[in-house]
Amino acid sequence: MAVLLRTTSCAAATTAGSSSTLLATTFRRDRRLLPSRASPARRAFTTRASAEPLEVCAKASITVPDRLGDCPFTQRVLLTIEEKNLPYELKLVDLANKPDWLFTINPEGKVPIVKLEDKWVADSDVITQVLEEKYPQPSLATPPEKASIGSKIFSTFIGFLKSKDTNDGTEQTLLSELTSFDSYLKDNGPFINGGTISAADLSLAPKLYHMEIALGHYKNWSVPDALAHVKTYMKTIFSMDSFVNTRGLPEDVIAGWRSKVMG
């Protein structure tokens, strides 16, 4: 049985001209009641769970203190770490008041950032690739020919969200992408790589979560019931423990997209 152990602590980060406080939350997974003849996969899991946790800098919530924020790219990284059963320490950063130390480890001042082998690595594409190479089991690799499935949904969602003209075709463009994805899942699902979840799902799912929350709030819109395979896909992934552990609060998602809607 997998047990999630969570401890929370606060640490002060002080620089030459200013001081800031970051919240460090350590998530660890452990195995309890293991059979005496554990499988190789379970032995590997136990070994990794006792290892030094990865350090991950992530966006802090803008609505609730000491909570993870709403960034879909950060969630992609955290999902990858969780699905690979790796312990990690989460350092929440107030992006409206970025501390000086953030620019020291990443001159662009962006998150997510993960410390891997004493080196801070930025960009979710790069981070997830490095994690796959460094921790190949369980594999989350997506075959190249499937890696771009559903990749246009996020940009078409943003186009529809920003649109102020109901006749400009942005809703139909999004529906076309979702319909194409629904057809793919019908023939190849339940996940992008068939029966097993992969990196492509962990990239797409946080974006679908943002789409559901933002369009539901700002446009009273939801995925049509006719796209049953997409709806099942979203429901399945959104209910995964790893997804629940790493998602932003709905109110953060709504607040995060407000400027796009009002701009």
Our answer to whether residue 57 is catalytic in this structure is: no
Quickly count: other Cβ atoms within 10 Å of residue 18's Cβ: 11
Closest CA to 73 of 105, 115, 110: 110
Residue type (1 letter), 24: A
DSSP output for 8-70: EEEEEEE-SS-EEEEEEEEEEEEE-S--SS--HHHHHHHHHHTSPPEEEEEEBPSSSTT-B--
* Widest Cα–Cα separation across the chain: 64
6 phi, psi to nearest 5 deg:
-130, 130
Provide the sign of the torsion angle of the four alpha carbons 44, 46, 49, 51, taken in this order: negative
User: CA-CA distance, 6 to 72, in Å (whole number)?
Assistant: 22
Give, for 122, the enclosing helix (H) or strand (E).
strand 119-122
To the nearest 10 degrees (0 to 180), the angle between helices 170-188 and 153-162 is: 150
Residues 155/174, Cβ–Cβ less than 8 Å? no
- What six digits make up the tokens of 205? 């799912």
- What six digits make up the tokens of 3? 């047990």
Annotated catalytic residue: which of 54, 56, 57, 71? 71
Task: Provide the annotated active-site residues.
Answer: 71
